[in-house]
Structures are given as C-alpha cells and as structure tokens.
Amino acid sequence: MARYLDLRDPGVREATLDTVVSGLRRGRVAVAPSESFYSLVTDAFSERGVTRIRELKADSSLPMGVIIGAPETLDGIGIGIPPVARDLISALWPGMLTLLVRQQPSLAWGLTSDTLAVRMPAHPVLLGLAARLGPTALTLANEKGVSPSQTLDGVDTDGADFILDTGPLTTDWRSTVVDVTGHVPRLIREGAVSRGELAAINSAFEEEASESGE
C-alpha cells in the first residue's frame, strides 16, 4: 500500500522529502506534483525504479524526462551543451523550460535514448526531490488516453510507494521544449515560455522564426 504524505505544510516538508528520497534510491516510485500536473518519479539511476514506472504505464519502452536539482548537474548527464543553452538556463531555470540534450554515452541507467529531455523545476517538492536525489526520472501519472491531472483524484496511484500531496495544482501550462542538440536551437513546443521570451534571451530564436516564416 502506498504511503500518503501531506506536504502542504512547508514545516514538515524537508524531513519528509529525506524519507522519500531514501526510498527512491532503492527503486521505489512516488506520485509527486510538478508545477502543472502530478507525475510518477523515481531515481533515474535505479533500473528497478525505471522498470516499475514502465510497468505501471504498461509501456516497456516509455521515454521519460529527467528532472535535476541544480544547473551544473546537466554537465554530468549531457554532452556538447552549447552557449545558447547556458543563456536559457541562466534566465529560465528553475522553471518551465525543458532542454533536449545529447546524453553522456557512459551513463549506466535505463534511460536508453540518445537524447534527454531535462528540466530544473520550480515546484518546491519536485525541486527538493531532485536536489537530494540527483537526476530524477519523470513521466506524467495519467493513464493512456486520459488527460494529465492537476489533482490526486484524477491519478491512478495503484503501484506507487509514496503519494506526495500538495493539493490541487493551479496551472495547466506545459513546459516549453527547446532542442539544443544541433548547430542551432529549435523550438519544439511553445508552452509556458513564449518564443518572444526566448528571443529576448538569445537572438537565435528570432532567426529561427524568420526562417520558418513566422
């Protein structure tokens, strides 16, 4: 049975997160809030944890995002991070920006894609987990064909070891996704951060918009 943990009181949050992280390191899985939706999370380096999430989602090849607790962690899991990515990180992390980066080939984990989707979140619970745990694997906690949920009522928590409750989430914005694996950055999904905001940080996004006819 999953352990329910009410984290709406910041006063109890710190010690509780330490307990959760200890479990995640042993391959356990938590339902945790992000800025927008509830997600399934585990230690990205735990083969057992990653496998369990894929079993819960009934998808043996499920791609997952990676949450980190500090910008410098990116250099440990990604390679060839370009200056434009550094500009975006400096301006927008922690926050609603996901970067697609090339994965370090030496990483011993179950996230086998050559490209990683990496974000440093602003939500205190998710950020607190990643700051303690290190790279954290994440996927939305919705069933296939069902919209992501901003409340625990809309999440199937069967199979999770921890349920981290911070109450209803207040925004349904998706993160903006930028691919920085090539010679020039590409805006893959415009979400909470607009193209205009990206262009104000780095002119490469003005050039991309011009080339695409926008």
> For 78-115, how does the pLDDT look when each residue is reduced to its tens digit (9 = 90+)?
999 999 999 999 999 999 999 999 999 999 898 877 99
> Residue 206: its pLDDT value, please?
76
Give the per-residue pLDDT at 207: 63
Low-confidence stretches of the chain (pLDDT beneath 50): none
First CA to last CA distance, the chain: 51
Q: Cα–Cα distance between 145 and 95 in angstroms, integer?
A: 27
Q: Which domain CATH number covers 21?
A: 3.90.870.10
Token output for 65: 């995002």
Domain boundaries, position 88 = 3-211
SS3 per-residue string spanning 93-113: CCCCEEEEEEECCCCCCCCCC
DSSP annotation of 188: E
What is the number of domains present in the chain? 1
